[in-house]
Amino acid sequence: MTFASIQFLFYFLPLFLLLYFSAKQIKTKNFIFVVFSLIFYSVGYTPHLLILLFSITVNYYVALAVDRNGGERRKRFLILGVVFNVLMLGFFKYTGFLIENLDFLLHPLGIYIVNPNISLPLGISFYSFHAISYIADIYKGRVRANRNPWEFVLYMTMFPQLVAGPIVRYSLVAHQLSDRRTTWGRFSAGARLFALGLAWKVLIADEVARMVDAVFDGTSNPTLLEAWTGVYAYAIQIYFDFGGYSAMAVGLGVMVGFTLPRNFRIPYAALSITDFWRRWHMSLSSWLRDYVYITLGGNRRGVGRTYANLWAVFLLCGLWHGASWNFVIWGAHHGAFLVIERAGLGKVLKRMPAAFAHIYTLLAVFLGWVWFRAETFEGAIAMFQGLFGFNGVGGYSVAFGFGLYPLSIAALVVGGIIGLWKWPRIRWSPAMKPLLAVGDYVMIALLMLFSVVWIGGGMGTPFLYYRF
């Protein structure tokens, strides 16, 4: 089940809200939230629910052990918890990748290894990181272990963020698990955010998706025009797809009294790659900073070690996104730019005109998206050949022509206007505020209506980050 589906919008969500707000006690609300979260998760593939529950059970008891012990025993339980979550994630996400590479190396020797094709449990990358941060924060004394199993299960499974984030620190929601209130103003603000996220996903990301697929999957030797159109379209698609999901997740949380972390802050308006990672997937980048980069020593052990730590973190970031060398190269791509900027380019960019820094950042990010989207290494190389004009300059293939719909082109233009610049706020006179409030509600209602119509027409695609 996805947020952008008729089943969720007309059956799951209304029934959940009806039962949730009918309950008077917080314990009852939590029980309803947990039940609906498990139903939401199990609709995708029910056996994976058992893996999720197993992970929750182990992490619950390990966290309690970390909390009640001190000294070396406390540290041993921390290591046990981290190793458990890493092994869980590694087994399901990287076993196939490891076997595939071993088979490639041993094939010349006449040794063949059968790939078991282990299916990836939905959301395991996210809930594993939730658990690691929870146990680590208990070890560092930032929070105490929650001894109420229902509250811990709710933290791990709440359906707005379970499948594709944002990555929520336990400390952010600890108090809200046992005491939260929802006012009409907060509910309205959350619903507005949900509607905007849904429109981003359905009316922009899904519309440009056909253009992206036509270039990356339908053309083997894209021309300069095709390649740059495809890369730009993918940059718009992934931002409005994942940004839309994150907005919907945060909006749903606000509707029921939870404050979830913001995940995007106009990332394509960044003026450096360092700035980009302060704006893009902020919950992941801050998680990697706090639990990996600082743990490795951060910038406290000399310049060379700092550069190595940065690169190691982004190699991990790439591998976290997917078990493929393309993702590793994507991580190395961003890590290299971060190192270069820290080595001196960052100071140069600050002295350059903002327009130059903006173009530099967009080019670096867009070129990185080639590795992220291409299905194979050979496919990425073919795209780069097109981007640099080695396959011809103009014209387009029949496959690319199928992606050029008026609505797709309109979504591409609107997405660029919204996503590539930070527009200054207009200061309206007090007399205009009532009229603007009415206009805002009308706009949200229209966006919601158009989104539902698009979904009803079967034009939607799965969220991109469901695969991670």
Q: What is the rounded average pLDDT for all residues in the chain?
A: 89
Is the torsion defined by CA of 208, 196, 327, 348 positive or negative?
A: positive
pLDDT tens readout for residues 99-116: 888 887 887 877 878 777
Give me 421's structure tokens: 């610049």
Cis peptide before 166 (omega within 30 of 0): yes
Give me 265's structure tokens: 């802050």
Give me 343's structure tokens: 């080595």
Give me 388's structure tokens: 């640099």
In whole angstroms, what separates CA 397 from the centre of its chain?
Answer: 32
Percent of the chain with pLDDT over 70: 94
pLDDT tens readout for residues 371-380: 999 999 999 9
Average pLDDT over residues 14-34: 95
* Sequence spans of domains, the chain: 25-180, 186-467
Residues 123 and 37 sit within 8 Å (Cβ to Cβ) = no
Residues 234 and 216 sit within 8 Å (Cβ to Cβ) = yes
- Integer-rounded Cα Rg, in Å, for the chain is 23
Question: CA 212 → CA 196, 404, 466, distances in Å?
Answer: 23, 10, 18
Q: To the nearest 10°, the Cα dihedral for 184, 187, 192, 194?
A: -170
pLDDT score, position 429: 63
Residues taking part in catalysis: 321
Instruction: Look at the pTM and tell me if it is higher than 0.85.
Output: yes
pLDDT tens readout for residues 324-376: 999 999 999 999 999 999 999 989 999 999 999 999 999 999 999 999 999 99
